[in-house]
Amino acid sequence: MSTVPLTKRGAELLKEELHRLKTKDRPEVINAIAEARAQGDLSENAEYESAKERQAFIEGRIADLEGKLGAAQIVDPAELNAEGRVVFASTVDLENLDSGEKVTYQIVGLDEADIKESKVSVTSPIARALIGKSAGDVVAVEAPSGLKEYEILEVRYV
């Protein structure tokens, strides 16, 4: 399996989710299955089927998280020294050249991406356009609404 890039914070969040799944969710679903089994005929027991589906989801997610964490390449943005270039885990301040709107994004791994928190996946069009660029550069990004141009105002490693 290839490495999975994660920020230090992203790895911590995945570890927390894995811990919760193993210590809270898994025991709860095992109890739910046991209770549903005690009700008798399993062929027409909706609670049993629902608990089994939930168990399959939990076990699949546990395996997924363990695989990702096992293959993780954890990057601490505070330890980066990319000489002002945009790299994975950097935070970038941008200005939309058409509207003048200023935005800030951190480039993170696929599992960490959350636009509400201004975190964009390293595989997103805007991140791909920014990687390797420096403050003062202008980048063109193909967005669903059309081509957008941004000027990189600042690159930070926080």
CATH of the domain at 37: 1.10.287.180
Q: Kindly give the residue spans of alpha helices, DSSP state H, lying in the chain.
A: 8-20, 26-38, 46-70, 125-130
Instruction: Let me know whether 113 and 135 are in one domain.
Output: yes
Indicate if the pLDDT at residue 80 is higher than 70.
Answer: yes
- What is the average per-residue pLDDT within 85-94? 94
Indicate if the pLDDT at residue 1 is higher than 60.
Answer: no
Burial class (CB in 10 A: 0-12, 13-18, 19+), 26: middle
The 10 Å Cβ neighbour count of residue 94 is 21
Instruction: Let me know whether 49 and 93 are in one domain.
Output: no
Instruction: Let me know whether 69 and 122 are in one domain.
Output: no
Indicate if the pLDDT at residue 145 is higher than 70.
Answer: yes
Indicate if the pLDDT at residue 68 is higher than 70.
Answer: yes
Q: How far apart are CA 73 and CA 65, in angstroms?
A: 14
Asked which of 30, 49, 74 is the last residue of a domain, the reply is 74
Provide the domain limits for residue 66.
4-74
Instruction: Let me know whether 84 and 150 are in one domain.
Output: yes
